[in-house]
Amino acid sequence: MQHAPAAELQTTTGMDHRKLLMWLFLGSECLFFGSLIATYLLYRNKTEEIGIGPIPSDLYDIPFTSVSSFVLLMSSVTMVLALAAIQRGDRRGTQAWLLATALLGMSFLAGQAFEFTEFYRQGLSLDTNLFGTTFYVLTGFHGAHVSIGVLILLSLFVMTLRGRLTPANSINVELIGLYWHFVDVVWIVIFTLIYLVQT
């Protein structure tokens, strides 16, 4: 029987549904973080004008935050290595790099926890002023994203221990990889706009 020419026309991207979903989700997340960052920038000079409570230059410890930013950046590298490992069927490598990524993520979170306590000790809490409000909410939501990422990475690590993660379902690692890189990129934006560029 003759083939309908229709059959050859593109009616799908050929991309895995889940991967397409992840890209859309990340697109949506851009507006989420965009709104939070915009709020921070809108309010950035207000606290100094009002004169209540600490302002960014009183508290920021740029060298410290640079180090923890670097740690988070490095976790993107280990994430890439984990994906490469699973795709070539290297189970040990996958385990090692997944765990490394999770650990680097946890180090970043520990740095953030330290930073928060330090700021709090120096008199900045959520209700002190607009700086406290916008800073904690923005970086807090980013931290929550990292935490969820760490949780998923650890879950995948457990799956590799049980041998449930194979090159055939390496898509799982690819998905968390996309998410993880996105969260990293968001941090670079936050670090640049909020820590480095102070007016």
Least separation in angstroms between residue 69's CB and other proteins is 23
Nearer residue to other proteins within complex by CB, 5 or 63: 5
CA atoms within 13 A on the CB side of 21: 8
**Cα dist from 119 to 55, 103, 132, 135, 156, whole Å:** 11, 24, 9, 11, 34
- 24-43 mask for other proteins (x: CB under 8 A)? xx-xxx-xx--xx--x--xx
CA dihedral sign, ordered 174, 179, 180, 181: positive
Tokens at 187, concatenated:
């941090």
Least separation in angstroms between residue 154's CB and other proteins is 12
Number of residues that bind other proteins (CB under 8 A): 41
148 binds other proteins (CB under 8 A): no
Q: What is the DSSP letter of 15?
A: S
Residues that bind other proteins (CB under 8 A): 1, 4, 6-7, 9-13, 15, 17, 20-21, 24-25, 27-29, 31-32, 35-36, 39, 42-43, 46-47, 49-50, 52, 126-127, 129-130, 132-134, 136-137, 141, 155
